[in-house]
Chain A
Amino acid sequence: MTQLILEQALNGLQFGLMLFLLAAGLTLVFGIMDCINLAHGSLYMVGAYFVAAAAQAADSFWIGLAVGVAGAAVLGLLLEVALFRRLYRRDHLSQVLATFALILIANEAVRAIWGPAAIMLNPPEALAGPVAFPLFGEEFFYPAYRLVIIAVGLAVATLLYLLVAKSRVGMWVRAGAANREMTEALGVNVRALFTAVFVFGAALCALAGGLLGPLLAVQVGMGESVLILAFVVIIIGGIGSIRGALVGSLIVGTVDTLGRALLPTLLRATLPADAAATLGSALASILIYLLMAGILFFKPQGLFPARA
């Protein structure tokens, strides 16, 4: 049982860190420019495809990851300059419509280029097996690749947190999220700042997509479900807040993973097996939404509101 809980807790941490990579870009775009980007999940999908294609061509996962992330950054730049710049001043409905259109285009373009079937992305061979730890006198096995994801996720999260919380550019970003007009009036080029944030967000999407690629299937539509999770994260954390995104990601990642792993087992103690399995899986899937509705009910601005 301890083994199971520890393994699931680590899985939850890993999932939460990947969610943070997605939510960080989303919350800044949302917070600074008040722009709803439903196509953020599509950047994640396209990024994963870029990484998979480049990894196949170069026959190396790490080169593929670097090329794919760079490619997604370029795509983000093009999108920002060509489309998103025109959307900032528009109402939420126009943004929903435009980015919904982008989802349609992205899904179909990927299907046209790479075909409808999921494509495989293999983890680096050196990391394919599990590693063993001593735990209360027993051996505890955990996949090496997942540990690397956790390490990369922690490193990027720390870097991002320092960048936003301590650097000058980060100060502009936070100021832009709190009050855009005032920041502009103080002489910060919010437009260029936003281009940079958007490109950075796109690169983080591709990083998450590439890292998760070997664990999940790289396929059309993979962006939609994860987008909703990223939205849940930034709503829980408070829109525009990096700290909120980090806390929200870890909460959502752990609650979701642990709920799926443990709820059916826990319910079996009180309910018949069949009902426990059904109710357990249903309850586990809606757990994070219940959490979000609950948090919004008591704290309508999220846990760490950026516009205090």
Chain B
Amino acid sequence: MAFYRPARWQRPLALGLFAALVALPFVLEAFDQSFYIGFATRLLIFALAASSLNLVLGYGGMVSLGHAAFFGIGAYVAAICQQAGINEALFAFPAAMAVAGLFALAVGAVSLRTRGVYFIMITLAFAQMVYYLFISARAWGGDDGLPLAGRMTLAGFSLAGDRPLFFASLTALTVAMLLFGRLAQARFGRTLQAIRENETRMEALGYPVFRYRLVAFALGGAVAGLAGALLANLTGLASPNLLQWMQSGTLLVMVIIGGVGSLWGGVVGAAVLLGLEEALAGLTEHWHIVLGLLLLGVVLFAPRGVAALFGRRDG
């Protein structure tokens, strides 16, 4: 893998996509299809979560199978804030990011001492611990999860209804993508990618390899926490299912399908996977089989991810 370098056509395409997304709720409402605004919001939120994993996995080269922990913690922090009587997203969302980020910092501090398969498994172990902790915590709903009484308010405006949450999610994703795009080309991102390519060399050059990785890991966790808080608002529930390892697997699959280490990998992967789910579920009851076969096809025939099929994004 080489350094990330944006293609020339990327900026106009991103601007076009952004404009289309801003117009989307109004178009859908005009055609009386407002159901799909909720679906689009879900897609944006998962794009955000997958992109945060892409920072860890794609740029950092850290195969984490525990990312759902940070995602789920974000959802629970939002729900717990509401339970405690704080209904303001301007407090709850940063709190979700802070808690998820700090937890990622702790997990990373232990896990990043290991390499390869052991790293995969230790991140998985931490995620399982979080899963079982929340399942046994009866004050937070245990098995059933912690429901939200209603959507939160953002700076005093309610997020209830299709449009407000859609635009909140779109804003979050846009800011995150701008940040990740800048980061990939900034010194931090360059160093991170160089560490992925040749750790020993970077170590020898005097870079604090461990600290760079840890910061990327914590940042990815924090952004995943934000995605979780948004999702809790969308579904009205912080569910322990969000913390399951299959959820980490799904996020990982999204990034791999989309293209590991290309800026848009997470977004493309989330769109492809959720879009396929939605389309296949309409066709057959047993759509998981079709989805599985398609994923096998991607592994065997498009190993660099779907994003790579549309031209190389890596220089």
Question: Which of B10-18, B109-117, B183-191, B212-220 is found at the contact surface with chain A?
Answer: B109-117
Q: Given that A112-B286, A231-B121, A235-B118 are contacting pairs, would A297 and B296 also be in contact in the complex, using a CB cutoff of 8 Å?
A: no
Which residues does chain A contribute within 8 Å of B296, judged by CB atoms? Answer: 83, 98, 101-102, 105
Q: Given that A93-B63, A108-B288, A289-B125 are contacting pairs, would A100 and B253 also be in contact in the complex, using a CB cutoff of 8 Å?
A: yes
Q: Which B116-136 residues sit within 8 Å CB-CB of chain A?
A: 116-118, 120-122, 124-126, 128-129, 132-133, 135-136
Q: How far, in whole Å, are A279 and B138 apart by their CA atoms in the complex?
A: 10
Which residues does chain A contribute within 8 Å of B133, judged by CB atoms? Answer: 282, 286
Is B300 an interface position by the 8 A CB rule?
yes
- Of the residues B57, B132, B249, B289, contact of A285 by C-beta under 8 Å: B132
Q: A215-230 CB contact bits vs B (8 Å, 1 = yes)?
A: 0000000001000100
What is the CB-to-nearest-CB distance from B311 to chain A, in angstroms, rounded to a whole number? Answer: 21
Which residues does chain B contribute within 8 Å of A148, judged by CB atoms? Answer: none
What is the CB-to-nearest-CB distance from B58 to chain A, in angstroms, rounded to a whole number? Answer: 10
What is the CB-to-nearest-CB distance from B211 to chain A, in angstroms, rounded to a whole number? Answer: 18
- Of the residues A111, A239, A281, A289, contact of B286 by C-beta under 8 Å: A111
Q: Which B55-84 residues sit within 8 Å CB-CB of chain A?
A: 57, 63, 65
Interface contact B253-A97, CB-CB below 8 Å? yes
Interface contact A94-B299, CB-CB below 8 Å? yes
Is A96 an interface position by the 8 A CB rule?
yes
Is A107 an interface position by the 8 A CB rule?
yes
Chain B: interface secondary structure?
helix
Q: Which A182-240 residues sit within 8 Å CB-CB of chain B?
A: 224, 228, 231-232, 235, 239
Closest to A232 in B: B125
Q: Given that A94-B299, A300-B114 are contacting pairs, would A108 and B289 also be in contact in the complex, using a CB cutoff of 8 Å?
A: yes
Question: Number of contacting residues on A, CB 8 A?
Answer: 45
Is A290 an interface position by the 8 A CB rule?
yes
Q: Given that A101-B299, A228-B245 are contacting pairs, would A293 and B288 also be in contact in the complex, using a CB cutoff of 8 Å?
A: no
Q: Which B97-156 residues sit within 8 Å CB-CB of chain A?
A: 110, 113-118, 120-122, 124-126, 128-129, 132-133, 135-138
Is A128 an interface position by the 8 A CB rule?
no
Interface contact B110-A105, CB-CB below 8 Å? no
Interface contact B291-A86, CB-CB below 8 Å? no
What is the CB-to-nearest-CB distance from A228 to chain B, in angstroms, rounded to a whole number? Answer: 6
Is B256 an interface position by the 8 A CB rule?
yes
Is B246 an interface position by the 8 A CB rule?
yes
What is the CB-to-nearest-CB distance from A241 to chain B, in angstroms, rounded to a whole number? Answer: 14
Is B282 an interface position by the 8 A CB rule?
no
Interface contact A86-B300, CB-CB below 8 Å? yes
Q: How far, in whole Å, are A38 and B299 apart by their CA atoms in the complex?
A: 15
Interface contact A292-B289, CB-CB below 8 Å? no
What is the CB-to-nearest-CB distance from B276 to chain A, in angstroms, rounded to a whole number? Answer: 11
Is A296 an interface position by the 8 A CB rule?
yes
Interface contact A96-B118, CB-CB below 8 Å? no
Interface contact A282-B132, CB-CB below 8 Å? yes
What is the CB-to-nearest-CB distance from B9 to chain A, in angstroms, rounded to a whole number? Answer: 27
Interface contact A93-B260, CB-CB below 8 Å? yes
- Of the residues A97, A109, A278, contact of B137 by C-beta under 8 Å: A278
Would you list 19 pairs from A and B whose C-beta atoms are within 8 A, ordered by A residue? A87-B299, A90-B303, A92-B116, A97-B256, A97-B257, A100-B252, A101-B292, A104-B288, A104-B291, A104-B295, A224-B246, A228-B124, A232-B121, A235-B117, A235-B122, A281-B136, A282-B133, A286-B129, A301-B118
Q: 4 closest pairs, A vs B, by CB?
A: A101-B295, A282-B136, A105-B292, A285-B132
Q: Which A residues fall within an 8 A CB radius of B?
A: 30, 36, 38, 83, 86-87, 90, 92-94, 96-98, 100-105, 107-109, 111-112, 224, 228, 231-232, 235, 239, 278-279, 281-282, 285-286, 289-290, 292-293, 296-297, 300-302
